[in-house]
Amino acid sequence: MLKGSPIQIQSPRPSQLQEMRESWAAADADRKQKAKAAELQRQEDLQKGKEAISNHLISAGETSDFAEKVLAVMKDSQILKAVDATEVKSAFLEPPKHEAKRNLFQARYWESLPSGLAPLQKTAIMDMILRRHSSSELSEKVPATLIKAVVGASVEEQTGPLHCPICLEPMVSIKTSGSIDTSNVWFAKETKTEHWSNHACGHACCRGCIAAWAETGINEQKVSIKCPAAGCKYRLWDQDLEQLVSHAAFERHLEHKQADYLGHLKKTVKESPALNRWLQSHARPCPQCHVIVSRSEGCNHMMCVCGTHFCYACGFEKCKCGKRKRADIWNPRDSSP
């Protein structure tokens, strides 16, 4: 076994420890001094930014009180970002200006909006009012007068919240008396009970267009008729349809809903083996309403008259073409109670 001299660890001399402590203390003091100076500079820049923003708003026709409201909704980081030296970047002020106006004037103007407008129309008109007018104008003018002017301007535009999504024509007009006529506006009303809500979408259409839209859907045997607004997932409930279509059309709609397509499918498959073989080669049952759908040409993405989308190749809503085991689409289980 080799023996060597033991390793000796020498502790720093007292003078070295003192030098190290003093160096650390000096570095810490310098760091704190720089942090303090940076915070003082930040506070100075923040104060200058507030003054610049306030002067900018007042020079643009806003009141000093409104300028304070805008600054109140802005975070320090937003204020610093909105001011470059003494130059104010107006684009950075638009969101806080809009929020401040909403806080000050929303309740006052919302009460004066025509009750016949749909919720989304009211929100859009309110946004136009806040965006197009200064705080001074909003506080001085009569809400009804300003609302009528904005509605009139929106009607004159080629598109917007007051135009029907089907025919693109204005749904609202200004009468010779000066009042706003909303009698041609239709939208699904919010319906609630203790346990249920229809979750109305708030989109509006002119009455003639939505009535024709609904009746066409019924004639096409659709039991689920969606709102015509682009991208909307709301489906018209029976209480919506009953308001819109003729009594005869509504009765046809109820017949379509109550049709026992599942029973018919099971009976057909059981009683006619030859027809069953033909159907399995040339058709598919809808996975929701069980109506038999046949495709002459095209891709595998199908849409039933009830509105259900499914894969024609495998017959399922969520395609299962790649799975080896799957249920028999020609012998579905009745999920009704």
Q: What is the pLDDT of residues 119-158, one digit of tens each?
A: 999 999 999 999 989 898 898 889 999 999 999 999 998 8
**233: domain range?**
187-191+199-258
Residues 137 and 175 placed together within one structural domain of the fold = yes
Q: What is the pLDDT of residues 256-315, one digit of tens each?
A: 876 767 676 777 777 777 777 888 888 888 887 777 888 877 888 888 877 788 998 888
Residues 61 and 113 placed together within one structural domain of the fold = no
Q: How far apart are alpha carbons 136 and 223 in whole angstroms?
A: 52
Give the pLDDT confidence score for residue 5 in this predicted structure.
Answer: 60
Lowest mean pLDDT among 2-16, 127-141, 174-188, 252-266: 2-16
Residues 246 and 264 placed together within one structural domain of the fold = no
pLDDT reading at 337 higher than 60 = no
Asked if residue 22 is part of any domain, the answer here is no
Q: How many residues does the chain have?
A: 337
Q: How far apart are alpha carbons 94 and 109 in whole angstroms?
A: 20
What are φ and ψ of residue 185, in 5° steps?
-90, 130
Residues 234 and 217 placed together within one structural domain of the fold = yes
Q: How far apart are alpha carbons 96 and 75 in whole angstroms?
A: 10
pTM as predicted: 0.64
Q: Which two tokens stand for residue 266?
A: 């099971």
Residues 235 and 287 placed together within one structural domain of the fold = no
End residue of a domain, out of 66, 97, 128 = 97
Grade residue 227 by pLDDT with cuts at 50, 70 and 90.
very high
* CATH code (residue 236): 3.30.40.10
Q: Is the CB of residue 166 less than 8 Å from the CB of residue 210?
A: yes
pLDDT reading at 325 higher than 80 = no
Asked if residue 243 is part of any domain, the answer here is yes
Give the pLDDT confidence score for residue 230 in this predicted structure.
Answer: 87
Residues 172 and 113 placed together within one structural domain of the fold = yes
Please, what is the average pLDDT of the chain?
Answer: 86
Number of domains in the chain: 4
Give the pLDDT confidence score for residue 6 in this predicted structure.
Answer: 63
Asked if residue 4 is part of any domain, the answer here is no
Residues 318 and 269 placed together within one structural domain of the fold = yes
End residue of a domain, out of 97, 125, 150 = 97
- Per-residue pLDDT averaged across 3-27, rounded? 72
